[in-house]
Each structure stands twice: as structure tokens, then as C-alpha cells.
Amino acid sequence: MGLLVPILLALLASLFGGLFLLGAFRRRRPNEPPLDRGPIPWLGHVLEFRRDTAKFLERMRKKHGDIFTVQLGGNYFTFLMDPSSFGAVVKEARAKLDFNAFARKLVIRVFGYTPMENESKFSHVSNNRHLMGDGLVLLTESMMKNLQNLMLHSVGKGGDQKTWIEDELFMYSYNIVFRAGYLSLYGNVSSREAGSTEKSFEMDRMQSDELFKEFRKYDQYFPKLAYGVLSPRERFEVKKLLRLFWKTLSLQVFKNKDNPSGWVNELQQTREDLGMKEFMQDRYMFLILWASQGNTGPAAFWLLLYLMKHPEAMAAVRGEVDRVVTESGQDVRVGGSIVNLTYDMIQKTPVLDSALEETLRLTAAPVLTRAVMEDMKLKMADGSEYQIRQADRVSLFPYTAVQIDPEIHPDPLSFKYDRFLNPDGSKKTDFYKNGKKLRYYTMPWGAGVSMCPGRFFATNEMKQFVFFMILYFDFELKNPKEETPDIDRTRWGFGAMQPTRDIGFRYRLRL
């Protein structure tokens, strides 16, 4: 009996210690946001959050207001839902709210890549040099050439080019934009290796299509991988896919390509010069591919679908595309040269810009998260202040807080191609809530230090794809009355949403 009492006490101590670590005893302190730990120790609300992030956060907002703290998988996240207060998070110094501390853990888990010290500093220099200005002009030109190879390689080759081709719109759009972006960033098969320029073009088409098929498999696992809930079979498949990507995108393969982008080349060379092991560089090459091409194809799908679903939008964009080409002194005709779609040309498309921004408003839904580096105060736009604990997370979900708020964007679930145009055709930036003009009225690319550095290249990719579709193809939905697919709610938080099902369309060359 004397031995039993210490054992029971030890078991109770372990139980209470475990419950403490699981967050079971956390209590809301004075001046902290409302706290909702959820029904399950440690897991908290993570199951409901994963099932439908938007629905969960709206339920929490109705219950607690515009700021609240919830437990998700062992961590506490404070969600700020008042867009007028977003600046308090976006502009806060990294010493208090750090995006990189949160992102570092994610890329280790998802890509097997361990970032360097000062990773963001080195990447920032390359991003500015190659994803803006003259560097962006070169990338846009490369994208044009690769789109021409993928989409228009049969022009002028004879045969019946007026036959309709049936396909699935999501897979078609994702396939073409991904492959053209991949080739533009990682380079082309060497004509010396292929034996001729024509053969290298053919090999580019074949190899990029094979890579896309494998990338699509990985992409479908991504939400589960990010949350760490893969089954043993799924983990085995993901590891096999990762090994394939690391080999296909390896340093040895990359250095034998023609026309690699200056951006990827500089990012890789910097890591090599700093002594990063080659196997880790190979992993980084795949991280870049996913970050740059994981969202543009799905977003291009939604843009093309909305244009086909709204004839007035399609007519407006088509008129703009034709005008830009005519003003460049070019035309589309049998026997003529393929249109040279320059960087300057795609900067003259306010209607297409508005249609794309409206598409992203409806279908891009990132969760923007910062790690709390020290105890701090978060000041709201109404003057109230909340205490936030070190080691927690602070998150924004602009989709529900801003992008589909009916006060900011009337009739928010409808596609209006000119929503971001003023009557004089200029870009509209004046949007209001509670009578106050908002700085953050749509946030598909994030904001602040975590704003997507490749947003200009991604925008150009999608616009170039739509340009070539409109210029060179007749295309239509197989069933124009078919309902627009729902979005896949398991992908909330990861950027551009994907449809729950594909939708059939058909296309043919106009020439």
C-alpha cells in the first residue's frame, strides 16, 4: 500500500502535466482576445478548421467578434477579421511578428528543405532583380516563346486544324500554364543534346507534360501534407514523388539546360556559393517550382471559365486583346507570323486586369500567418488593444474578412469583370467599410513582407495564356448551362482554390 500511493501520485502528476502541455488549462488573461480552445485537448478546433476554414472562421466571428484566439493542433492562433485593422499585423516589425519563423517549419515538413540563415535576405535581392523591371521583361519573353511551343506548334503544319478538340478545362489550363512556366524558369532541352532545335522543342513538350502529371499527383496530396495527416500509404507515395522531383530538377540536370532563367540560376548559385549541400539545393529547386507554379494554372482556369460564362466579359476582353495587337502593328492571319506578345503589350489591358483581379477575389484564399516572437499589444482600428502571447500565431483570412464582404464588394459572390474599373477605364482602388476607405480591399497575393514576390510574373503568365487562347482559338463550354463547379474547401488557405470537379470544353485553331 505504501508503494501504491507514490505511483498514483506520479501518474496524476504525469496526467496533469500532459493536460497542461496540451493546453487544457490555458485561460484568457486580462486584455487578451476571446479564447476558444475547442472540444479536443491539443487538437482544439483543427478538424473543423481543416474541413471548411471559411465556415469555421465565420462561426467564430459571429460568436466572438473581429478578433479571437483558437487552438489548432497544439498551437494558438489569433485571427484578426477586421480589415481596417490589418495594418497592425502587416506593418508590424519582424522582431514581434515574423513570417519566416512560421514558414520555415512548413517548408521543412512539406519539401524536406532546411532554409539557410538569412534565407529571405538572399532571396529578396534575387526577387527584386529578376521578378521586376528588366528581369521580368526577359521572363515574360521566355514565357511567350514556351506558350507558343506548347499551344501553337501545329500552326502551319498542315492537316485538319479546324477539328474541335474536347478536353477538361481545369486540366487543360493547369497543364499549359504550368508547363510554360516551368520551361521559362528551368530552361529548355539543349538543342545540342536533342540533335536539332525542332527536336528540342518536341522534347520540351513531352518532358514537361510528364512532369506535370507527377506534379498534379503531389499537388493533390498537398493539403494533407501541410497539415501532417497523410496515411502511411500516402506518405510513401509523397516520398516517391519528392525523390522524382529532386532528381528531375537536380543541379546536374539544371546546368545542362539552355535558356534557364536568371532568377532560378541566381537563387541556386547563391546557395552553392554559401556551401549548401547539393542534395539540399535539389530540394530547393522543387520548392521554387511549387511556389511559382502551384497557383497560376488553377487561377487561369477560373479566369477562362468566368469569361466563357459571361459573354459580355468575354466580348470586352476580346475587344481589348484585338486592339492591343492591332496597335502593335501585328495581326493574326493564315500564313502570317505568330504574334510577338511583348511585355509592353500586356501592360495595356485594364479590362483584362480587372477581370483577373475579380477572378482572384473570388477564388484566391490564403491564410496569412505570423509567429509571435515576444509578448506584444495589437491595436485595432477602433482604438482597442489586445495582449498577444509569445509563441502564439497571428493570422488573417482575407477571403471572408474582405473579399466576399458585401459592404466592401456588393453582390460579392457574383463575377463582375469591371468591378475594379472606374467609369473612365482607370483602375479602381476606392473601396470602403463603415464609411472608411480600405487599404486592403483584396489580398490574393498576401501583404507586407510575405507578399508573393512572383506576383507580377504570375499575372503575366495568366494574361499571356488568355491572350493566346483568344487570338488563336475558338473555344466554348461543351454544356454552357452547366453550373460553375464549387471550390474544394479542403484547400482553403493555400492560395488559388481548385474546383471540386472539372468542366468540359472544346477548342480548335482559328487559322
Kindly report, residue by residue over 42-84, the tens digit of the pLDDT. Answer: 999 999 999 999 999 999 999 999 999 999 999 999 999 999 9
The domains found in the chain, sorted by start residue, are 4-114+367-396 (no CATH), 119-366+402-509 (1.10.630.10)
For cell 488563336, the residue is: 472
| Residues with pLDDT less than 50, the chain | 1, 3-22
* Burial readout 192-225 (b: 16 or more C-beta within 10 A, e: otherwise): eebeeeeebbebbbebbeebbeebeebbebbbbb
Distance CA 315, CA 318 (A): 5
Return the pLDDT at 161: 67
Nearest to 81 by CA among 96, 64, 95: 64
Rg (CA), the chain: 25
Distance CA 413, CA 358 (A): 10
**Contact at 8 Å (CB) between 67 and 397?**
no
Q: Residue 364 pairs with which residues in a beta bridge?
A: 496
Distance of CA 16 to the CA centre of its chain: 42
**Contact at 8 Å (CB) between 181 and 211?**
no
In the numeric block, which cell numbers belong to residue 462? 495568366
Residue 430: is it exposed, middle or buried by C-beta count within 10 angstroms (0-12/13-18/19+)? exposed
In the numeric block, which cell numbers belong to residue 405? 464582404
C-alpha distances in Å from residue 47, one per residue of 39, 53, 396, 425:
10, 10, 19, 45
The residues near 458 (Cβ < 8 Å, ≥ 6 apart) are: 292, 295, 296, 299, 452
Return the pLDDT at 228: 87
Neighbouring C-beta atoms of residue 111, cutoff 10 Å:
21
The torsion defined by the Cα of 218, 223, 225 and 230, in degrees rounded to 10, comes to -100
Q: Helix or strand or coil: residue 192?
A: helix
Q: Residue 475 pairs with which residues in a beta bridge?
A: 507
Backbone phi, then psi, for 176, in 5-degree steps? -65, -45
Distance CA 238, CA 218 (A): 6
Nearest to 78 by CA among 407, 380, 360: 380
The torsion defined by the Cα of 159, 165, 170 and 176, in degrees rounded to 10, comes to 0
Nearest to 151 by CA among 136, 165, 131, 137: 165
In the numeric block, which cell numbers belong to residue 67? 478578433
Return the pLDDT at 159: 59
Distance CA 115, CA 93 (A): 21
Q: Residue 258 pairs with which residues in a beta bridge?
A: 188
Residue 28's identity, in one-letter code, is R
**Contact at 8 Å (CB) between 299 and 487?**
no
Strands 67-72 and 432-433: unpaired
Spatial strand order in the sheet of 504-509? 165-168, 504-509, 473-477
Strands 165-168 and 504-509: antiparallel
In which element (H, E) is residue 68 found? Answer: strand 67-72
* Burial readout 153-179 (b: 16 or more C-beta within 10 A, e: otherwise): eebeeeeeeeeeeebbbbebbbbbbbb
Query: How does DSSP assign 215-282, residue by residue?
Result: HHHHHHHHHHHHHT---HHHHHHHHHHHHHHHHHT-HHHHTT-BS--HHHHHHHHHHHHTT--HHHHH
Distance CA 155, CA 472 (A): 9
C-alpha distances in Å from residue 347, one per residue of 137, 265, 481:
11, 26, 33
Strands 67-72 and 35-36: parallel
The residue count for the chain: 511
Return the pLDDT at 124: 86
Strands 67-72 and 385-388: unpaired
Kindly report, residue by residue over 458-478, the tens digit of the pLDDT. Answer: 999 999 999 999 999 999 999
Return the pLDDT at 24: 60
